């Protein structure tokens, strides 16, 4: 392969990585995590760690493809999308609950006794009181890194490395994955910063609007994940 062809292949890998970061399921997943941060800088780190996790798992799959000179069957790649749908629903539920909690909604159990003396419990939802409990926050990079790992082994990402079997050498294949990963990290860094704008701008002065935007992000993630699962299971 000529040097010009090698440079073209690597440039293609980088631009493909940039575009890959724009996949809807990637943006939806990252938006649920970004919604919890009030800083554009922290949100950018979320995108960066997502890209690192995505690149790590994709690199591992790519090494297997290069060594075995084979590809993953389309049927298997299809079912690898299922965990992504489950993850989107889980992220959406978490974001939705946090948004409701910050709007003053609390869910807890009341226990009382009936006339016969037997205890009975009810689950109540209260509104209008602030939640005072402090929860230990995860390190900023842990969750986006794990989310990126899941996306990296999903079908759409695995299909991306199918081209590796056509490259003339393992070294070039690994270089392709590397520049693809750099592109996806850069693309998600920029997109997470952009996505964070409405959350960061409303976090301090417009808390009611901020909670509403976060609630919308959570509900959309649940809906998108359910839709993705329906398509994957029914296809």
Give 161-219 pLDDT, tens digit per residue. 666 656 677 777 788 888 888 999 999 999 999 988 888 888 777 777 878 888 899 99
pLDDT score of 200? 84
pLDDT score of 180? 87
| Global confidence as pTM | 0.75
Torsion angles phi and psi, residue 13, rounded to 5: -60, -40
Find all residues with CB under 8 Å of 6, minimum gap 6, and list them.
172
pLDDT score of 91? 93
pLDDT score of 157? 61
What does the alpha-carbon distance between residue 161 and residue 86 come to, in Å, rounded to a whole number? 23
Q: pLDDT above 90 covers what percent of the chain? A: 18
- The pLDDT of 140-154, averaged and rounded, is 86
pLDDT score of 164? 63
Q: What is the span of the domain harbouring residue 113?
A: 3-234
The burial class, CB within 10 Å (0-12 / 13-18 / 19+), for 129 is: exposed
pLDDT score of 220? 93
pLDDT band at 133 (very low <50, low <70, confident <90, very high): very low
pLDDT band at 125 (very low <50, low <70, confident <90, very high): very low
The distance of Cα 235 from the centroid of its chain, to the nearest Å, equals 23
Q: Rg of the Cα trace of the chain?
A: 22
Return the beta strands (E) in 51-194 as ranges. 106-113, 119-126
How does pLDDT run across 60-105, given as a tens digit for each residue? Answer: 887 777 777 766 666 666 777 888 899 999 999 999 988 888 665 5
Contact 168, 69 (CB under 8 A): no
What are the angstrom distances between the C-alpha of 109 and each of 18, 201, 217? 48, 35, 28
Whether 221 has a pLDDT exceeding 90, the answer reads yes
- The pLDDT of 134-149, averaged and rounded, is 71
> Which of 138-142, 169-173, 218-222 is predicted with the least confidence, judged by mean pLDDT?
138-142
pLDDT score of 135? 39
Whether 59 has a pLDDT exceeding 50, the answer reads yes
- The pLDDT of 108-135, averaged and rounded, is 47
Mean pLDDT taken over the chain = 77
pLDDT score of 151? 87
In total, how many domains does the chain have?
Answer: 1
């Amino acid at each position: 392969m000529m040097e010009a062809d090698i440079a073209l292949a690597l440039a293609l890998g980088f631009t493909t990585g940039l575009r890959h970061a724009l996949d809807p399921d990637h943006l939806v997943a990252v938006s649920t995590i970004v919604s919890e941060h009030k800083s554009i800088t922290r949100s950018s780190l979320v995108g960066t760690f997502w890209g690192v996790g995505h690149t790590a798992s994709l690199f591992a799959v790519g090494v297997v493809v290069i060594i075995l000179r084979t590809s993953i069957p389309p049927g298997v790649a299809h079912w690898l999308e299922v965990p992504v749908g489950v993850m989107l629903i889980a992220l959406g539920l978490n974001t939705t609950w946090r948004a409701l909690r910050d709007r003053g909604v609390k869910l807890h159990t009341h226990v009382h006794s009936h006339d016969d003396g037997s205890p009975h419990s009810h689950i109540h939802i209260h509104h209008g009181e602030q939640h005072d409990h402090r929860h230990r926050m995860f390190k900023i990079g842990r969750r986006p890194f794990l989310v990126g790992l899941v996306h990296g082994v999903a079908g759409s990402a695995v299909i991306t490395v199918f081209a590796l079997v056509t490259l003339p050498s393992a070294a070039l294949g690994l270089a392709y994955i590397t520049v693809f990963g750099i592109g996806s990290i850069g693309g998600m860094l920029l997109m997470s910063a952009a996505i964070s704008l409405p959350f960061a701008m409303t976090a301090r002065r417009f808390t009611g609007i901020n909670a509403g935007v976060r609630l919308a992000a959570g509900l959309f993630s649940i809906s998108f994940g359910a839709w993705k699962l329906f398509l994957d299971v029914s296809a």
